[in-house]
Structure 1
């Protein structure tokens, strides 16, 4: 079985070699704002931020690189599988690995995460088997993981609805006296949705222990950020009465530090925080989208110089924290993962057609039973029956 790489995958170089910009090579910088939190520059240089100190071990740094590289390979394989007709659709996270892994690794035991449909990196951080995500996009089930066991909610397709779920859950654990927090993921486009604003009103009013983590990847679907909001998104938090912070979403260390601080504040009863992770969607919104219709190739090339994996690879290499053997090992692990994802996906058995009725309600209603009987009678008219 041969694993297939996505043709849009960003080159992060051969093992031990940095494919990104070198210091002084003219790499573009994020907006120069005093409140932009950054701990690792696009050139791979470690810097400090007075408000967000971070101590991280060498092993953790290598672990972050491995996580991001493997999740990117998973994403590439899933995109290829969709193009070959094995998935109904796929929502790529290409370019957003640091935002998702940094936030996912900031969660502690007892914390709960509520994703959109793109948080594959957070799923990975919470120990969800990639095949349990693939089964959702293949259409054989609603997602194979147990949200309670993984502390990771179901993927949410309805834009912004997960923020209401997260806030309600946070209000619940608040009343239970639990010392834990909730992380709600959303995109920049979702900030225009009524559900998101309603969730933030409730979160502020009840000081709910929830953190709203917005991955601002610059485009909702095809609408650029500047057409949607005339102010930075994190400024909106002030209107609801709680803090907002903008972090370099391509800097896994800064995302980790900021999200840890926000979750800690939530656990301590300080209420919600809005985090704007300033990042970029390198691929299409989903595999049904054509991003070349609404953005220029030059913009994509500019953002490639801020690649989250390349900057960490540069730091590890220059600091002597990882050698060629380490990077070769990660590449080999990525190849193994890709083969497992491909074989596991194409071998998934189709569910019986009547399975669509099984998980609608906890108990079957008379109306649903009548629908099922009608469907079974219809299926019986074909060879093979309802099953």
Structure 2
């Protein structure tokens, strides 16, 4: 029997480890029960950190940890899924192959939503995927070769949510490191809602607004980007901003492969799943991470498209897919604890707890927590069998 997991992000990695854990608990041989992970590279991209400098360093190898728990890695991109024949079509460097499955976990993550705005595809940057972040970093370093003026030192960040705020608050220090300590970068956040950080809650918003003031970051509320060109942006209210750099950070959608699964989806393209993370009406298919809309509790809270939810969801999806194959009880996904740690660049950070985002820590203390999250908690476990399997207990993963 074979369990196939598509995706090597946080959800896919933990799905593989958790399935291997259950297989190990019940003493089933990898020769009898194969767990196969399909991804273009055996690498975890540490996506939550892509707003930082040197994004090319923000990856973690997975080959050793997968080998340690007897998970088969298959290099390639899943292109299509036939849920009737239970096969996945995979494109590799040498051609196209079909891979059969007995259970499938869709952990394909999400992609930045790029609307059809004139000039966005040609002139907009992002911190969404590794290649995007590397391209932005290269562009920023290239600014040093340009003459000052004409918006060279101006960055417009489109989107005042979590990603946009972290990208914007990191930008002044990044630009001074590139252009010189005497540079006076201008950073502007453009947000369609009236207020920046519309979902961060009333406790956090004053802290964020104070941090933006301290960093000299301007805001444009109740406005959107109408068009881009190589010299800057025009906003929906008609304002023109000369800017050499525009970073798009205005929303994400589930990766396109979810459309291959004949299940219901929400407005973000996520597959609707039951409490075991199965796709209802599609035999043998589970969805997890950013590919799934899953209830976290009985109070009406649903998992967000974040690594915090993806890691735990992945562990439950992998466990449950393996449990079905082994004839063992499944474990309903639950995640009642939710925290937020928002980086504010040189102004520190903030840490909240609960769905109501109750503010707990700010400033340097919150920054220490953010560094620990970014450099320890979200990285793969050690490539040692016992440690890797223990880390994938679905009841323990990211249970802050």
Please, what TM-score do these two structures have when normalized by structure 1? 0.26
If each structure's helix is expressed as a fraction of its own residues, which one has the higher value?
Answer: 1
Using CA pairs below 8 Å that are at least 6 residues apart, which structure has the higher relative contact order? 1
